[in-house]
Copies of this chain bind each other. A is one copy, B any other.
Amino acid sequence: MDIRDYMLKIGKAARLASVSIRRASTDQKNIALQAIGEQILGARKHLMLENEKDLEAGRAKGLSDALLDRLAFTDASFDAMVNGLEQVVQLQDPVGEISNLVRRPNGLQIGKMRTPIGVIGIIYESRPNVTIDAASLCLKSGNATILRGGSEAIHSNRALSECITRGLTQNSLHECVVQLVEHTDRDAVGELVKMDRYVDVIVLRGGKGLIERVAKEATIPLIKHLDGVCHVYIDEDADREKAISIAFNSKTQRYAVCNSMETLLVAAPIAPDVLPELANQYLKVGVELRGCDDTKKILSNICQIVIATEEDWGTEYLGPVLSVKVVKGIDCAIDHINEYGSNHTDTIVTENYSKGRRFIREVDSSSVLINASTRFADGFEYGLGAEIGISTDKLHARGPVGLEGLTSQKYIVFGDGQIRQ
């Protein structure tokens, strides 16, 4: 079968399965999620063997240690998958939720009801855990799912997908509610993102290259997760201790994540007070600093720092590098963030009420924080229970995307025979 036919077959089956999963009760969905967890525990040995095949192929292909690490199943990743399923079971089912019910003068009662979207395609790279995370969130929200993982994880993903299918069919759910694309050819992605008759939305998780390529080809709406060039702005009215601990934590708590800080902005009046202390802390853990002229001057007794280029201000280092800029005040900080940032996550540290309010209103990012580390911007920390990604788009879902982002809302109207005059 050629790739187009193969993908069309998957698309049609998903559309069909979406009709049944849309109508499934919360109990049915939860029991299936638990059954998938049991299947994973039961298939542990088989999953390890299949994962080893991926690792072997990865080593032969010369994948980096970091990538091999992300690919490997461990006791911790098994626990995470099974716990993740249990957490999704605990989440409230959004489907059928009615809100904003108002009574109109003519007696009609009008509100909104949450519904599944229909068919969701998920395109992701390397980490096979995503297979379970994504499938469980889509299942709970009443959607059919087409999973397209990275080719380097195909054996692991196939084995996980078998666990999912058994969990579904054991509980009389349609076996195509979750399907894995087993074609590892790139063209399969090209077909998937153009099947607008069968797929309602594509969730994209992966590197910049993948996302840019898919965004160009797709005719289906995308929920995409682009880069996070996140900022902390230390205002002149900041509390010194909060400023230092938030700026340190936002950069160093983890490096290779989208919500870690890449650029630190410091108001000129407070810069000589906080920057030396911060620089010492950063240098101690091996963070390389690049800065503007003022930063270089202020830190000249501590270290020699490289002058940041125009490119630095827009770079997501995803590693132990930080660009630092001394700014005049909040106006310059907001302008800098809106110009160079990626509309992901930005923090102000200040004790000034009005400046906090302005920052929140005027910074055009998916998460804007006052006096808290940028690292909090994720679905678990926000209490969504789980997330399928962090959207930097402004339409539909913005910021961490949980169950709600995987649903739609329709209008519902309760009448007593009303007709329009």
CB pair B241 A417 closer than 8 Å: yes
Within 8 A of B (CB), among A189-240: 200-201, 215-216, 219, 221, 239
On chain B, the residues within 8 Å of A362 by CB distance are 22-23
Tell me, yes or no, whether A419 is within 8 Å of chain B by CB.
yes
Determine how close the nearest CB of chain B comes to the CB of A165; give it in whole angstroms: 25
Known: A102-B383, A110-B383, A364-B22. Is A249-B415 also a contact (CB below 8 A)? no
Tell me, yes or no, whether A117 is within 8 Å of chain B by CB.
yes
User: Which of A280-288, A289-297, A367-375 contacts the other chain?
Assistant: A367-375
CB pair A411 B377 closer than 8 Å: yes
Q: Report Cα–Cα, A410/B241, bound state, in Å.
A: 28
Give the B-binding residues of A (Cβ under 8 A). Answer: 19, 22-23, 96, 102, 104, 108, 110, 113, 115, 117-118, 200-201, 215-216, 219, 221, 239, 241-242, 245-246, 248-250, 253, 338, 360-362, 364-373, 375-377, 381-383, 393-396, 398-400, 408-420
CB pair B372 A417 closer than 8 Å: yes
On chain B, the residues within 8 Å of A394 by CB distance are 115, 117-118, 200-201, 408
On chain B, the residues within 8 Å of A365 by CB distance are 410
Q: Which residue of B lies closest to A375 (CB)?
A: B420
11 A-B pairs with C-beta separation under 8 A:
A23-B361, A102-B383, A104-B382, A216-B219, A242-B416, A365-B410, A366-B411, A370-B413, A376-B413, A395-B408, A399-B410
Tell me whether chain A's interface is mostly helix, strand or loop, or mixed: mixed
On chain B, the residues within 8 Å of A215 by CB distance are 219
Q: Which residue of B lies closest to A343 (CB)?
A: B410
Known: A19-B338, A110-B383, A383-B104. Is A373-B408 also a contact (CB below 8 A)? no
Known: A360-B113, A366-B411. Is A395-B396 also a contact (CB below 8 A)? yes
The answer, among B364, B373, B399, B408, for a CB contact under 8 Å with A420, is B373
Known: A102-B383, A377-B411. Is A417-B368 also a contact (CB below 8 A)? no
- Kindly name the residue among A102, A249, A365, A412 whose own CB sees the greatest number of chain B CB atoms within 10 A: A412
Known: A372-B108, A394-B408. Is A419-B246 also a contact (CB below 8 A)? yes
On chain B, the residues within 8 Å of A399 by CB distance are 410-411
Q: Which residue of B lies closest to A111 (CB)?
A: B382
On chain B, the residues within 8 Å of A242 by CB distance are 416-417
On chain B, the residues within 8 Å of A117 by CB distance are 394-395
CB pair B417 A245 closer than 8 Å: yes
On chain B, the residues within 8 Å of A115 by CB distance are 364, 394
CB pair B418 A373 closer than 8 Å: yes
Q: Report Cα–Cα, A418/B371, bound state, in Å.
A: 7
Q: Report Cα–Cα, A408/B370, bound state, in Å.
A: 20
CB pair B413 A368 closer than 8 Å: yes
Known: A22-B364, A381-B420, A382-B110. Is A221-B395 also a contact (CB below 8 A)? yes
Known: A221-B395, A382-B110, A394-B118. Is A372-B415 also a contact (CB below 8 A)? yes
CB pair A96 B361 closer than 8 Å: yes
Q: Report Cα–Cα, A369/B113, bound state, in Å.
A: 12
Determine how close the nearest CB of chain B comes to the CB of A366; give it in whole angstroms: 6
Q: Report Cα–Cα, A398/B102, bound state, in Å.
A: 18
A-B CB proximity, top 4 nearest = A372-B415, A249-B419, A242-B417, A369-B413
On chain B, the residues within 8 Å of A200 by CB distance are 394-395
On chain B, the residues within 8 Å of A408 by CB distance are 394-395, 398
Q: Report Cα–Cα, A254/B222, bound state, in Å.
A: 37
Q: Given contact pairs A366-B410, A369-B415, enumerate 17 new A-B contacts (beta carbons under 8 Å).
A: A19-B338, A104-B382, A108-B372, A108-B381, A110-B382, A117-B394, A246-B417, A249-B419, A253-B420, A368-B411, A371-B414, A373-B418, A376-B413, A377-B411, A381-B420, A398-B410, A399-B411
